[in-house]
Chain A
Amino acid sequence: MLKATVYVTIKQGVLDPQGVAVQGALHSMGFQEVESVRIGKYMELSLNTDNREEAERQLKAMCEKLLANTVVEDYRYELEG
């Protein structure tokens, strides 16, 4: 069994309205040092395989096809176990 962690974020250069709103909230609370906030998604997947190479290939396909919309989002992943 392998554990995969997938992070999806809105591309740099594409406006992230949620991030901007949260940044504004942080500023209004006095956290002036906050330069920017980007909000993304965190996903945990358990993969029923021990073949890392195969798992990585499958994971990439999952990200490209469904987990991220590569028109506006970037993704990265980590494999453990």
Chain B
Amino acid sequence: MKFAVLVFPGSNCDIDCYKAVEEVGEPVDYVWHTATDLSAYDCILVPGGFSYGDYLRCGAISRFAPVMNEVAKAAEQGKYILGICNGFQILTEAGLLPGALLRNTSMKFRCHDTVLNVVNNQTPFTHDFAENEEIIIPIAHGEGNYYCDEATLKQLQQNNQIIFTYKDNPNGSLADIAGISNEQGNVVGMMPHPERAVSELLGSADGKRMFTSILKAWRDTHGTASVR
């Protein structure tokens, strides 16, 4: 299984994402934002950071990078796409995920571990968690306050698109939402950083199970005999 880590000017969690994939033993490439072909990749990671300095709005400019057309195509093809932090903001700006991320209600940049509740473990991204399991994943953001209108929230709830919620809401996020998926379930965005929680040495290894989940899901659908 081949992973791509997108790199925008101002991405700063790209190396952590790359290392997290190495941790599960799969090949991974950095892919610059000007790339126009993602056909070689099975999973695309949109990393955190401050792409384009968060100018105008977080993710507003990155979403028009050439590579984002390819991300939309990959999403359409059912490939796995995971946006983390700024990556989540970019995916909402691109319309690949519903809603938007507003300034934290505290007006503070929050950077600490959070306890997440795994609301939906029936996704390619969360199979290795138990339902309602509490996991520890760090956050680091000033604009992670998830917002969507009432009709969209209802839709998210009905389709089980809410993947993670915070135990103690750190940012004012609607319905304590920490991570959501698209309707098809192959695109996930989350503010917490699973790539920063891949070893007990880092305080938690819970994030690693997202990467092992993705790998297992891919193997289940592609057969273990396929050439990797």
Q: Which residues of A contact B (CB under 8 A)?
A: 10, 14-15, 17-18, 20-21, 41, 66-67, 69, 71-72
Name the residue in A17, A20, A66 with the highest tally of chain B Cβ atoms < 10 Å from its Cβ: A17
B49-93, CB < 8 A from A: 56-57, 60-61, 64, 92-93
Chain A residues with CB under 8 Å of B103's CB are 17-18
Chain A residues with CB under 8 Å of B93's CB are 69
Chain B residues with CB under 8 Å of A18's CB are 103, 107
B interface residues, tally (CB under 8 Å): 21
State the CA gap A72–B104 with chains docked (Å).
14
State the CA gap A67–B102 with chains docked (Å).
16
State the CA gap A67–B57 with chains docked (Å).
9
Q: Which residues of B contact A (CB under 8 A)?
A: 56-57, 60-61, 64, 92-93, 98-100, 102-107, 145, 147-149, 172
CB-CB under 8 A for A71 and B60, given A15-B172, A17-B104, A21-B107 = no
Give 9 new A-B contacts, CB below 8 A, not counting A67-B56, A71-B99, A72-B102.
Answer: A10-B102, A15-B105, A15-B145, A17-B172, A21-B107, A66-B60, A71-B92, A71-B149, A72-B147
CB-CB under 8 A for A17 and B107, given A66-B56, A69-B93, A72-B100 = yes
Question: Which chain B residue has the least Cβ–Cβ distance from A39?
Answer: B103
CB-CB under 8 A for A66 and B172, given A14-B147, A15-B102 = no
Q: Which of B60, B61, B98, B102 contacts A14 (CB 8 A)?
A: B102
Question: Which chain A residue has the least Cβ–Cβ distance from B61?
Answer: A66
**What are 27 A-B pairs at a CB distance below 8 A?**
A10-B102, A14-B147, A15-B105, A15-B147, A15-B172, A17-B102, A17-B103, A17-B104, A17-B105, A17-B106, A17-B107, A17-B145, A17-B172, A21-B107, A41-B56, A66-B56, A66-B60, A66-B61, A66-B64, A69-B57, A69-B93, A71-B98, A71-B99, A71-B100, A71-B149, A72-B100, A72-B102
Chain B residues with CB under 8 Å of A41's CB are 56
State the CA gap A66–B92 with chains docked (Å).
13
Chain A residues with CB under 8 Å of B64's CB are 66
